[in-house]
Amino acid sequence: MIQRPASAARYLEDCHEEYAPISPKNTVLEPMEPLVSVIIPTHNRAELVGQAVQSVLNQTYRKMEIIVVDDGSTDNTRDVLRKYHATIRYIYQERSERSRARNEGFRYSKGDYVAFLDSDDLWLPMKIEKQVQVLNGNSDIGLVYTEVQYIDINGRPYIGDICWDKPVRPALYEDLMTHNVITGTTSSVMVRRTCLDKVGLFDESMNTCEDLDLYRRIARYHNFHKIELTLTKFRIHAGNTQHNASAMAEGWEIIINKISQDTPPDFEYYKNEAIIKILFRVGDLYSQDGQLHRFFSFCAKSIFHGQKWILTCAFWKELVRMCMRKCVYENLLRIKHR
């Protein structure tokens, strides 16, 4: 069981708070122990975080607590959130990236179910209600997520191409080895607290792909369910992590090392293929940023440090097989389009 910090009040001294976090008895939501903990990490999004909080307050389901973790904002985020002081618990921390912010929110939470909402995204009013219904009625499901609508920085429907990975493998765990197939990432997700207690929280060494890493660990032991309703609004803008190709590549490098070390025996047969697929992606991401040398550096360091995944004969056989298959496929496409 993950323990809550020993001194829950100490952070007030560290961040010189002007208003204290609200206890359940003072909230305008349900006057009982909350069932759903909503955790909103934010950093310098004063123009958006209020909209995110309001979308939670607009939920038809009321048994919840709202925890906003301010990850070292230097804008007027605190002033924006002051108007919600009666309905949220505000926690300030020094700049540490979103993984630690989410984990900090979880440590202060009490709910049986946990839902994460990025501060630039929004929920539609029945999102929590629909997800609670699924978890309450299906004890074998550990995580439930929703369909999403893509919006722009102004909240209007996003006009542009969105390429989101979809499940293609026989088992969800296999998909999560190579692709993030959970639409809307963390903003669409609700997870049982017991799942996080079992597999751990977000890896704080990761600034990208940390959500995929968590989903893969949860999927090892629990079933997932997708609600085929648009209940989450995912905002597309220049600040999205997905637009930072090199940062994404760094996250995938960590995923490779994790897969090589902790793939369950039932999925060992797919491990080398999964690693090679990710390697292709890492190379492509670095190439987009004109930093292909970093891809070769990663491979060289993996060999130098004796990473097992790159030193086995099975890996190199699979690499040759997949490269040949890729060449044949590309040649067939060229012939087809002549």
Note the residue count of the chain. 338
What global pTM score does this model have?
0.82
Q: Which domains are delineated in the chain?
A: 10-243 (3.90.550.10), 245-336 (no CATH)
What's the distance, CA 25 to chain centroid?
A: 31
Task: Name the token pair of 247.
Answer: 């940062």
Query: Is the torsion defined by CA of 198, 9, 112, 191 positive or negative?
Result: negative
Per residue in 26-76, pLDDT (tens digit) is 334 444 434 899 999 999 999 999 999 999 999 999 999 999 999 999 999
pLDDT along the chain (338 residues), means of 10: 39 35 38 74 96 97 96 96 96 93 96 96 97 94 95 90 77 93 88 97 94 96 96 89 87 94 93 92 90 87 76 76 70 65
For 282, phi then psi, to 5°, come to: -60, -45
Query: Is the torsion defined by CA of 44, 204, 102, 16 positive or negative?
Result: negative
Task: Name the token pair of 85.
Answer: 């002081």
End-to-end CA distance of the chain: 61
C-alpha separations of 187 from 48, 56, 103, 229 in Å:
14, 12, 15, 14
Q: State the pLDDT at residue 160.
A: 78
C-alpha separations of 226 from 37, 137, 141, 322 in Å:
20, 14, 10, 31
For 135, phi then psi, to 5°, come to: -70, -40
Q: State the pLDDT at residue 332.
A: 65
E strand intervals along 99-186? 113-116, 122-123, 141-151
Q: State the pLDDT at residue 237.
A: 85
Q: State the pLDDT at residue 313.
A: 79
